[in-house]
């Protein structure tokens, strides 16, 4: 038995499992390992300091796998935004065939990518955004539930509701994202109307993830209760792992007079990178989802994907079939 869906056929992969784009984590080591294991690995464009560095990272990943892989381009509002168009040009000129987009106002990026024959996955946190993305011409929706790491939006809708609600409104294939870390989640996502899954936190706790082992052990040791929501009062909610840093961010943000500048030094991406690379949990934020409570080991990507698919197949073939009398 194999899990054959529109996702696997469209992306040319063996298993309907995609590694989400993650800042500082989506590098060639991890992306190539996921792709070699039969899933879709994703490089994170903005992890690379310049578009030329991204070109080199794409070349490095291509030297490590002959399987399909993609690049994530996340568009976020900023006073001095990165040169998004130049990163997009680097992706196109490097011959990448799959791009994951996320963030605000992606239309110009989606239209340009599609005009070059690139398959576009767009990450959404609300049904209305998924419907809009389908109208823009994206090929696949990644629908991100409230359980997820990163930015779950402001609606607080968990995957059990969000996935089927989106499936009712869009006709293109969907990836379920947020709270998925094993074969049970994969089988559930397929039952709810998705045709594959997108995982971030679970891939951080793999042998090939290019982060410090202390961070991986931290994720394994955490429960589903060990996350905090930050930036709520600034209408840019983020879910991160519970730590001394995220505790400070929540406490400072709770003050009636608090403004974003009060927490900016604690939440900088540069400090988060230090935490991931040195294992110093007091250095910066570690972004992780509630799925931490389902992560109990640090396998290779090949071991993880084989186990997940095997579990999902057994659940679909044996456990669920036994209920249909």
Which of 101-105, 169-173, 192-196, 263-267 bottoms out in mean pLDDT, i.e. has the lowest? Answer: 101-105
Q: Cβ of 267: how many Cβ atoms within 10 Å? A: 19
The neighbouring-strand residues paired with 174 are 141
**End-to-end Cα spacing for the chain:** 22
Cβ-contact 285, 245 below 8 angstroms: yes
| 278 pLDDT higher than 90 | yes
Rounded to a whole number of angstroms, the CA Rg of the chain reads: 19
Binned at pLDDT 50, 70 and 90, residue 105 comes out as: confident
Give the model confidence (pLDDT) of 71-86 as tens digits: 999 998 777 899 999 9
pLDDT at 1 over 90: no
Q: At 197, which helix (H) or strand (E)? A: strand 197-199
- Over residues 187-221, the pLDDT tens digits come to 999 999 999 999 999 999 999 999 999 999 999 99
- The domain limits of the chain are 6-210+301-323, 213-290
pLDDT averaged over the chain?
97
The fraction of the chain above a pLDDT of 90, given in percent, is: 96
Distances (CA, A) of 84 to 14, 61, 147, 246, 290: 31, 21, 28, 29, 31
CATH architecture assigned to 6-210+301-323: Alpha-Beta Barrel (3.20)
Query: pLDDT class for 290, splitting at 50, 70, 90?
Result: very high
Torsion sign across C-alpha atoms 168, 173, 177, 181: positive
Average pLDDT over every residue of 41-69: 98
Cα–Cα distance, 325 to 307 (Å, whole number): 28
Q: What is the DSSP letter of 2?
A: -
């Amino acid at each position: 038995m194999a899990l054959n869906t529109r996702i696997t056929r469209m992306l040319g992969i063996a298993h309907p499992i995609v590694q989400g784009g993650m800042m500082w984590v989506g590098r060639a080591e991890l992306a190539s390992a996921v792709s070699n294991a039969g899933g879709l690995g994703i490089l994170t464009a903005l992890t690379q300091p310049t578009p030329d560095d991204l070109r080199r990272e794409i070349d490095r990943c291509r030297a490590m796998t002959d399987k399909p892989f993609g690049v994530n381009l996340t568009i976020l509002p900023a006073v001095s935004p990165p040169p998004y168009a130049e990163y997009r040009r680097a992706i196109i000129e490097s011959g990448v065939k799959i791009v994951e987009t996320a963030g605000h106002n992606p239309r110009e990026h989606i239209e340009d990518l599609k005009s070059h024959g690139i398959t576009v996955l767009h990450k959404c946190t609300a049904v209305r955004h998924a419907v809009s993305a389908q109208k823009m011409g994206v090929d696949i929706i990644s629908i991100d539930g409230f359980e997820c790491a990163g930015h779950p939006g402001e609606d607080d809708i968990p995957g059990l509701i969000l996935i089927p609600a989106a499936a009712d409104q869009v006709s293109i294939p969907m990836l379920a994202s947020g709270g998925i870390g094993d074969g049970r989640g994969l089988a559930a996502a397929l039952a709810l109307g998705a045709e594959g899954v997108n995982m971030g936190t679970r891939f951080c706790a793999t042998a090939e993830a290019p982060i410090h082992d202390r961070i991986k052990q931290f994720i394994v040791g955490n429960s589903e209760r060990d996350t905090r929501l930050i930036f709520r009062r600034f209408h840019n909610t983020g879910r991160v792992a519970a730590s001394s840093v995220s505790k400070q961010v929540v406490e400072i943000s709770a003050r009636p007079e608090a403004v974003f500048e009060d927490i900016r030094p604690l939440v900088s991406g540069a400090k988060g990178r230090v935490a991931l690379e040195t294992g110093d949990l007091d250095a910066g934020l570690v972004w992780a989802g509630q799925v931490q409570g389902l992560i109990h080991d640090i396998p290779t990507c090949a071991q993880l994907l084989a186990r997940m698919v095997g579990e999902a197949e057994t659940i679909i073939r044996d456990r669920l079939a036994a209920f249909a009398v």
